[in-house]
C-alpha cells in the first residue's frame, strides 16, 4: 500500500521527496532506481494495470518479451523488458517485467538486482506480503535508507510496487539514516509498517 502508513507511531505521507541529505559528511539524495513496480510473469500471463491519469498509455521496451493491450501486460516469451508510462509527451519507467525466471533470495529474479534481507511475511486477504530492508551500496556499507515490500498471490509470481518507506520521505525525523528490519501488520482498518533506524552512537 502506498497511501498513508503508520510508521513508528507517526503518520507519514509516502511520496517522492527529493532533497540532498548529509550523512557522515557525505551528501546523498533520494535514489528512485528501485522505486518502480516489478512483475514476475510466465508465458501467456496477463497482468491488469491500474488506470492512470487521463491520456496515460503504456509502452513495452521489447514486445518479444511482453506486449501492452489496453491497460494490461501480456507475457510473450522469456526475458526482461521495461514498461514505460507515457503521458503529456513524457515517458517514465513504470515497471520491470521478467518473463520466466531464475531466482535468488530465493524468490526474486537475478535481473532485478534486489537484495531483501531481514524479511517478515504476512497473509493479508489471501496474498503473502513480505516486508524487508533493501540492501545496496550506501554510505560505504551494504545497507540503505529504503524499505521494500513484496507481494505474491501464489508463492511463485512476485511483485514489488516500489519503496514502502524511505528515510528521505517528507517529515522523516532522521533524514538519510539507514533503515533496518521492517515489519507490517493490519490493525483497526489500517495497514501498519514498523521499522528501526540505525543507532547513532555519538548521542
From CA 197, how far away is CA 203, in angstroms rounded?
Answer: 14
Q: Delineate the domains of the chain, giving CATH numbers in brackets.
A: 21-35+101-197 (2.115.10.20), 43-99 (2.60.40.1080)
Percentage of residues in the chain with pLDDT exceeding 70?
A: 79
Could you tell me which residues come within 8 angstroms of residue 201 by beta carbon, excluding any fewer than 6 positions away? none
The whole-number pLDDT of residue 66 equals 97
- Once rounded to an integer, what is the mean pLDDT over residues 151-176? 89
In this structure, what C-alpha cell is assigned to residue 192?
501498519
- Residues 22-47 pLDDT 10s: 444 555 666 666 778 999 999 999 99
DSSP of the chain: --SEEEETTEEEE-S-----EEETTEEE----TT-SEEEEE-TT-EEEPPP-STT-EEEES-TTTEEEETTEEEE-SSEEEEEEEEETTEEEEEEEEEES--EETTTEEGGG--B--S-EEEEETTEEEEEEE-B-EETTEE--SEEEEEEESSSSS-EEEEEEEETTSTT-SSTT--EEEEEEEEETTEEEEEEEEPP-TT-
pLDDT grade for 118, boundaries at 50, 70 and 90: confident
Q: pLDDT at position 26, please?
A: 56
pLDDT in tens, 170-202: 888 888 888 888 898 889 999 888 888 887 654
Amino acid at each position: 500500500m502506498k497511501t498513508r502508513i503508520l510508521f513508528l507511531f507517526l503518520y507519514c505521507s509516502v511520496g517522492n521527496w527529493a532533497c540532498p541529505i548529509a550523512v557522515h559528511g557525505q551528501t546523498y539524495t533520494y535514489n528512485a532506481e528501485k522505486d518502480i513496480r516489478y512483475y514476475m510473469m510466465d508465458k501467456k500471463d496477463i497482468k491488469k494495470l491500474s488506470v492512470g491519469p487521463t491520456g496515460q498509455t503504456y509502452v513495452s521496451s521489447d514486445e518479444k518479451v511482453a506486449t501492452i493491450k489496453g491497460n494490461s501486460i501480456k507475457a510473450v516469451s522469456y526475458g526482461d523488458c521495461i514498461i514505460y508510462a507515457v503521458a503529456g509527451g513524457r515517458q517514465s519507467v513504470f515497471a520491470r517485467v521478467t518473463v520466466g525466471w531464475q531466482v535468488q533470495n530465493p524468490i526474486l529474479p537475478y535481473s532485478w538486482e534486489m537484495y531483501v534481507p531481514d524479511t517478515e511475511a504476512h497473509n493479508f486477504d489471501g496474498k503473502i506480503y513480505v516486508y524487508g530492508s533493501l540492501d545496496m551500496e550506501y554510505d560505504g556499507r551494504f545497507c540503505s535508507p529504503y524499505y521494500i515490500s513484496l507481494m505474491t498471490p501464489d508463492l511463485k509470481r512476485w511483485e514489488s510496487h516500489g519503496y514502502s518507506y524511505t528515510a528521505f520521505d517528507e517529515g522523516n525525523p532522521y533524514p538519510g539514516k539507514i533503515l533496518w528490519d521492517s515489519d507490517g501488520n493490519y490493525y483497526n482498518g489500517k495497514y501498519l509498517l514498523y521499522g528501526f533506524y540505525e543507532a547513532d552512537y555519538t548521542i
